[in-house]
Amino acid sequence: MLNYFVRRILGAIPTLFVLMALAFFLIRLAPGGPFDSEKVLLPEIEANLRAAYHLDEPLYQQFARYLGNLLQGDFGPSFQYRDLTVTELIMTGFPISLRLGAGAMALAVIFGVLAGSVAALWQNSRTDYTVMAVSMTGISIPSFVMAPLLILVFAVYLGWLPAGGLGGGSLRNMVLPVVSLALPQIAYVARLTRGSLIEILRSNFIRTAKAQGLPMGKILLVHALKPALLPVVSYLGPATAAVITGSVVIEQIFGIPGLGRFFVQGALNRDYTLVMGIVVFYGTLIVVFNFLVDLAYAWLDPKVRYG
Amino acid sequence: MPGWIRKLDMDEALGIETKQDQVVVRSLWGDAWRTLRRNRAAMTGAMLMAIIVLVVTVGPWFSQYAYDFTDWPNTSIGPSLGTGHFFGTDTLGRDLFVRTLYGGRISLLVGVVASVVSLLIGISYGATAGYFGGRLDAIMMRFVDILYAMPFMFFVILLMVFFGRNILLIFVAIGAINWLDMARIVRGQTLSLKQREFVEAAQAQGVGALAILVRHIVPNLLGVVAVYITLTIPQVILVESFLSFLGLGVQEPMTSWGALVKEGSEEMETAPWMLLFPAFLLATTLFCFNFIGDGMRDALDPKDRQ
């Protein structure tokens, strides 16, 4: 187990390295620099500024410095918000995005597994077809289409929920963004659960359990659900990535000051360090989460050898 | 083994009942077509899709307005047959019917072209890795693993910001994201295909590696590819509309469904039709492609039935 653990961590290092290298060289590609402004700077002042930001060093040295700083959690200064570092900005935005994303993931797993199990247990019934049709609709309506539609119905026409903003972090303000982010994922998890549960319910060990006279509820909870959830567990990695990407648009639509909104605003304002910092931060998050998912998978599935 | 025995086995596996005296030898594609035709959801999807493609192609000719014509006296008016603005107009007085159809042309075009790009990359990469195997395979697939973990959407957004909105860049960017899945699937298929007798026969006759790949491996991958392309197109349309929604896709006055949904979502309180028509068409298209893709998978890959 420890061996596997270490090997997986070592395996993640090249991924993180490529991520950071891509980030670093993309930022060099970006037109413009930190001191572009309307007034032209004196050459001496510009040279001093370049030295202050270490831009006068050779590229490999800058890259090494960038990596070193990253490893210490320092994403450098923001181009736009001169008083704040990128690290500080990420730390203000991330808790808000985290609540949004975690809420969406929780909804996706709970309702997805529930709906998928119901559909699988009553396979080919009207309930099954309804669940599957609804989930196909959920997959087909992207969250940035769903969000305005939900606002139109629940905020504009019915007036039940606020149309946007953080509202001091109240639950009412989180409902619509979390739901629109979660719906496609709920649908996906439901389809995955249904497919694998149907397969499991046909297998020999379930037939044996039935033959022994175990009640259906017990068979489902004790025997069937754990192996049936394996595809769902391995989908959690891509789901995280999808939720993070989706939150970029959702935060924009609902005016929530999370990381996704910082990202879009930063990109439009050409705040390159902030934007790259967010890419590296989220990229690392996804890599780490995938690693955790793999560990959970190995723990759940006895067939997976730690090799 | 005579053809009809194998076919009967397959029919039994597929649940097709045929009388023995009616047996005609059929190909994989023939069987797949029959299965697909019986799948009502997929056929409805295909029919709807055909209608959407037809309307998007010829529809604009039935309107008196051009997609960039601003009808100043009639800004933000609702749908009506009397004015000739069947879907209403936007805040600049441009006809939404024509714009929605033009947006559809762009969205569908991007979907198909970018999917083909990603297929070409994915097939050549995956088939090469799978056929040659060994260390080359290990290195190539490790590279795919690393790229898999990258938050590509973020990089694409950055590139769009750095280099301006460029439709070519959209194609390349989307193709670059989507080839990874294809490469993995094709590699897996190639690994099993290269063990087969016909490949061995070709090798024994001294056919070169490239010729074997092109003449023997790739044609046998077409079933998987056909399934996968119908599943890739909606993903690509989604990515394109995502970018357009952020204002990074196609440029004004040209438009796409994503851009129209964005404009509509800004005006939905006063002009909900600006949101509803493009949103409905975008969702319906994705819906159709997903159903067609599911049906194709059932038809061409009986092992993977759900």
A132-167 tens-digit pLDDT: 888 888 888 888 888 888 888 887 778 777 777 666
Answer whether residue B191 shows pLDDT above 80.
yes
- Residue B76's pLDDT band (cuts 50, 70, 90): low
Q: How far is CA A61 from CA A10, A64, A113, A242, in A?
A: 24, 5, 50, 35
pLDDT class for A52, splitting at 50, 70, 90?
A: confident
- φ/ψ region of A213 (left if φ > 0, alpha if ψ in -120 to 50, else beta) reads left
pLDDT at B15: 54
Contact A29 B162 (CB under 8 A): yes
- Of A234-243, B109-118, B157-166, B197-206, the range with the lowest mean pLDDT is B157-166
Q: Is B279 on the interface with A (CB under 8 A)?
A: yes
% of chain B exceeding 90 in pLDDT: 0
Query: Out of A18, A29, A253, whose CB is closest to B146?
Result: A18
Confidence of residue B164 (pLDDT cuts 50, 70, 90): low
Q: How confident is the model at residue A268 (pLDDT cuts 50, 70, 90)?
A: confident
Q: What is the pLDDT of residue A243?
A: 86
Q: What's the confidence (pLDDT) of residue B245?
A: 81
Residue B175 or B124, more confident:
B124
Tokens (6 digits) for A234: 């391995």
What part of B 144-163 touches A (C-beta under 8 Å)? 145-147, 149-151, 153-155, 157-159, 161-162
Structure pTM? 0.78
How many beta-carbon pairs under 8 angstroms link A with B?
116
DSSP per-residue letters across A168-195: GG-HHHHHHHHHHHHHHHHHHHHHHHHH
In chain B, residues with a C-beta closer than 8 Å to the C-beta of A275 are 158, 161
Distance CA B91, CA B273 (A): 12
pLDDT recorded at residue B40: 77
Largest CA distance in chain A: 87
Q: Place B306 in a pLDDT band, splitting at 50, 70 and 90.
A: very low
User: Which residue is it, tokens 């010729």?
Assistant: B211
Identity of the residue in A152, A198, A286 whose CB atom sits nearest the CB atom of B151: A286
Find, in chain A, the residue whose alpha carbon is nearest to that of B281: A141
Chain A positions in Cβ-Cβ contact with residue B147 (cut-off 8 Å): 18
State mean pLDDT over B51-65: 81
Nearest CA in chain A to B41: A133
**β-bridge partners, B95:** B89
Report the percentage of chain A scoring pLDDT > 70. 91
Check if A62 contacts B (Cβ < 8 Å): no
The token pair at B8 is 């009967």
- pLDDT band at B23, cuts 50/70/90? low
Probe site for chain B from A7, A20, A149 (most B CB atoms < 10 A)? A149
CB-based contact A77:A33 (threshold 8 Å):
no
Question: What average pLDDT does chain A have?
Answer: 80
Q: Any chain B CB within 8 A of the CB of A119?
A: no
Average pLDDT of the segment spanning B178-195: 85
Report CA Rg, chain B: 23
User: What pLDDT does residue B14 have?
Assistant: 55
Q: Which of B58, B162, B45, B157 lies closest to B101, judged by CA? A: B58
Quick one: pLDDT at residue B1? 41
The region of weakest confidence among A71-80, B66-75, B90-99, B288-297 is B66-75
Q: Does the pLDDT value for residue B69 go beyond 60?
A: yes
Instruction: List pLDDT tens digits, range A183-241.
Output: 888 988 998 888 888 888 888 888 888 888 888 888 888 788 888 888 888 888 888 88
The pLDDT of residue B303 is above 80: no
Three-class SS of A113-130: HHHHHHHHHCCCCHHHHH
Examine the pLDDT at B174 and tell me if it is beyond 80. no
Contact B157 A264 (CB under 8 A): yes
CA distance B7 to B13: 10
| Residue matched to tokens 């039994």 | B12
- Other C-beta atoms within 10 Å of A68: how many? 10
Mean pLDDT, all residues of chain B: 78
Rounded CA gap, B244 and B53, in Å? 21
| pLDDT for res B13 | 55
Of A211, A216, A141, which is closest to residue A180 (Cα–Cα)? A141
Which DSSP state fits A166?
-
Q: What is the pLDDT of residue B11?
A: 54
Q: Does A244 touch chain B (CB under 8 A)?
A: yes
Task: Identify the residue with better confidence: A300 or B280.
Answer: B280
Indicate yes or no: CB of A148 within 8 angstroms of CB of B286: no
**Residue B198 pLDDT > 80:** yes
Collect all residues of chain A within an 8 Å Cβ-Cβ radius of residue B242: 142, 144, 245, 249
Alpha-carbon dihedral sign for residues B122, B128, B131, B137:
negative
Compute the distance between CA of residue B275 and CA of residue B257 in angstroms, rounded to an integer. 10
pLDDT in tens, A16-37: 888 888 878 877 776 665 556 5
pLDDT at position B304 over 50: no
Cα angle: B25, vertex B31, B33; to 5 degrees:
135
CA–CA gap between residue A138 and residue A180 (Å, rounded): 10
Q: What mean pLDDT do residues B87-112 have?
A: 80
Whether the CB of A290 is below 8 Å from some CB of chain B: the reply is: yes
Contact B290 A148 (CB under 8 A): no
Q: Do B265 and A198 touch (CB under 8 A)?
A: no
Q: Shortest CB distance from B282 goes to which of A145, A156, A249? A: A145
Given this model, what pLDDT does residue B3 score? Answer: 44
pLDDT above 70: residue B225: yes
- Please say if the pLDDT value at position B264 is more than 70: yes
> What is the ipTM, given to two decimal places?
0.75
d(CA A92, CA A261): 12
Instruction: Give residue A111's pLDDT band: very low, low, confident or very high (50, 70, 90).
Output: very high
For A112-127, the pLDDT digits (tens) are: 998 888 888 887 888 8
pLDDT of residue A77: 75
| DSSP per-residue codes, A39-92 | SPPPHHHHHHHHHHTTTTS-HHHHHHHHHHHHHTT---B-SSSTTSBHHHHHHH
- Express as a percent the part of chain A with pLDDT over 90: 2
More confident residue, B2 or A295: A295
The count of C-alpha atoms lying within 13 angstroms of the C-alpha of B128, restricted to the half-sphere facing its C-beta, is 11
